[in-house]
Structure 1
């Protein structure tokens, strides 16, 4: 009898045991060579042994590193948490064997993806990297509209909930309405990134799955070094291994809300009583109070530095041609060196110098100088006591166009968290915001793309070129791209010898990707950074679709039908 029970248990375990490593989903190898093959192999072997030992102790995520005189190796492995320890180790063994087979011993890194696990090694630290490459992988089977609706709903829930769950892992399933079928899904982030990093990664992954959604595929995956997203109509985890997502999809329980409401009602009652008593007392004892002037209100702000005209005249060598940097929209700009050796940019303003104009000038400068953001050149001060009105800015040394755009994109990744005042400039607003009022991070992406095109063309987006019959900038840029005539967009005053043709074409393509009409396919700022750093044409990797053109009659000439779904999804995070 005991033999039969043991045999039955082994048979059951064997039936459900699966390391999910039958299909190699994706692999990649570094093209950089190591200094010493012998030492690098030794370090890699040691890290793989360390990873395996950690998985054997019932871990699902592990990192290991080895360093020596000849170099270093950093390695990471992650298994899906619905696997048993034995299946996790088995998946790792398959991945370790495959990564040696795919990547030669003389390269500095490699990565392997299976449904059950992920393995990566590099000769540098990468544990906190969010993403450097990603793509979607869709199945061939076609599903019903009802199934796809359930897929999108489940995927949305997983994207929102997973970053809030300890360990950044969630599995769930959803029954398809009107059908005898179920959709299964999993979302998982590596455990060495932040909650915000996990949110960003899964947002990109969700975007990758949009292709699978639109093609009505029965299963799909998004592959990313920092996260994994998968759905299927075939179960790949047990029913008792699902995660309850509801606590992570709402702000709080009903009981918590009742306590909060009760506390607020009681607190407001006491506050009203105290306010009434104080009002009566102050009414009896208050003295007449002068109405505050506008100058007093502005005085609460920390003002700009008021430079003397002679100081700035000396700093710019009497505004000499030698110090002239160029001409802006409202006057000439000069490089100056102050007495404390600080390098600044001094701008002459070609505007009225009436008493009223000077007063307005000083008020505006006082407000603007209190806005600090790493994407904005800071206004340091002004001069209004000389023959000309002058503005003093931080000096930004010349740099190549692609480096400038890369730095701007890199800084914009955390744009919402960087202002010391609640300030956001959207002078080039995306159509879905301008017309429908729908706001998301992709509105800033659109604005960035327009600014890039303006810099390259030397033309304002709101103005046509000198030819009265010509198109507006965005429409013109798209037409030139379609005809493979990118370089005709470049400002004619730019010397062709001062930029690389392919780099310029790539930047134009990235700008057009940022202005695509479909909100969900616009890249994130993290993706823009990756694209700017990558080699070759961006269009070959992700061809852009047509931008949204807003004509004078304020009608959008492009497909924005799925903008609402994309924006609500992003705002839900």
Structure 2
């Protein structure tokens, strides 16, 4: 507040002192000023106008023309500026929040679409455990190239570890342009998903996402048989291991043909589809070409499927696959496992180009064991090796009626039954026998295949073959 007001004037009038008659001129200087104090509170004071005169009366002030107190305008401006700052901050924060919400929503939607899956009625009825695409994506580290276990016409197979259980798995990811379509996928789900056998690759589950098809199997640490036969020059399987692998695959095929509630035609038996587990046991897998039929019905499909070199001759003529065509492929598989070479070798000498014909020629010359894989260095059981070669030729006989059933094959491999005495003439002919006695012998040999008892199927599923 204003504490004092003083007038300022300068007097030059003389002063008289009558007592002594002395006249003195005293000059006095005076000042006028303003003083104010607001204590500890910061405040501002303004002089809006003033009037001052040395001699005489000062002019009157016109209060109507006084300016506005400056502090009111400053407060108003300060309030407006503060309001603007608040509004700017609020709007900026709101806008930023809205942008973050939109971005987060977009990411969630994209992520949801990325892992979007499809569920159909047949999956509920026939399918085994369904995995989420997200779990399989994490398990395979985003399907990275370094996790690829193998490649094929049906897509790639990746190694993975389930994040929840740390279980190792193999994920077959069927590519969009794969020759294996939805029908084949359904066939594999409906067959192997319900099979239980120690020599079959166990299907743990599956996943579908948009047009992607994924199958999840037990991980086989030793890979497929073809790796041991062709891709490991410095190491190879010994004869004991090869013979056991042949018997393991025979046991699996016997289960598919004659032991399960429905006849299953695998249609693609070859070393790449035979996987080896950690204990060197063989397991038959890849049921993408499988065909299911009720026992007692004619298990045939009119669409040709399989791999060149393992396809029975009648498939090209009639286009009908059955258990006998599986046995043909198994016969070629036996010869390949024992001899360590592919069924067809274009670069080999003409007489050795076709494996079955070459073995037959060597047998005719009395040296059938000369065809055994040279990497074995004669470290094999001659009797077993001869059995495998002759039985392989019998199973791969060009005429379907000349092939045994898988139950007979098991008996031969286990040593419970012996091969027929007239087997030499039947195999070496490589054509249908014309003699009535030989025909009768073949009919007796294959009679078991045609007398499988029928079963009542309560849950029928017939896939349309290709």
TM-score bracket, normalised by the shorter chain, equals 0.3 to 0.5
TM-score normalised to the size of structure 2?
0.41
Which structure would you say has the larger Rg? 2
Q: Could you tell me the TM-score, scaled by structure 1's length?
A: 0.35
| Higher RCO (CA < 8 A, seq sep 6+) | 2
